[in-house]
Amino acid sequence: MDLKNRDGLKHVVKLIESDGYDFKLVKNWTPRLECGLQEYDKVFVPVYKISHWCLAVINNKDKKFQYFDSLGGSDSQVMKVLAKYIVDEVAAKKNQRIDVSDWEREFVKNIPKQENSYDCGVFIMKYADFYSRKSDHLFGQKDMPYFRRRMALEILRLNASE
């Protein structure tokens, strides 16, 4: 999706709609990937749940689905949909069948927790950042103002370089 075309944002489709999962609605998410999703070690999927963001991970390398929630919650439905999505994606894009029925479903608990009602988005971005670098989650609620400023600077630098 062209992020400069703000009108396109209203057409973004969710992986899980109110009536469930439908691959036809998300099959165009990965048109430009030169390899299939199964060839990446980890695929990070932001999950929005009624005023709260969580992070799901398709961890191909360790054969598991992971769920990071800064409020400590869990969602089995997200895990089921991620499993169905990766199977459908590989079948559609690579014409291959993969079996994820024995993959572990992990609700990651030993992670920093948010202490307010509005920093969930920053938390999931930092989970993805630290986890992708194989770093320990050495941050907490007290670090959120710094991370917000740093993200704003990075966005401004990207806009300035265009």
Catalytic residue among 52, 75, 88, 129: 52
Strand 53-59, strand 64-68: pairing: antiparallel
Compute the half-sphere exposure of residue 26: CA atoms within 13 Å on the CB side of its CA.
Answer: 18
Catalytic residue among 11, 54, 120, 137: 120
**How far is residue 37's CA from residue 68's CA, in Å, rounded to a whole number?**
20
Annotation marks residue 136 as catalytic? no
Annotation marks residue 129 as catalytic? no
- State whether residue 12 is helix, strand or coil: coil
Annotation marks residue 52 as catalytic? yes
Tally: H helices and E strands in the chain:
3, 4
Strand 104-108, strand 64-68: pairing: parallel
Catalytic residue among 19, 35, 69, 102: 69
Which active-site residues does the annotation give? 52, 69, 120
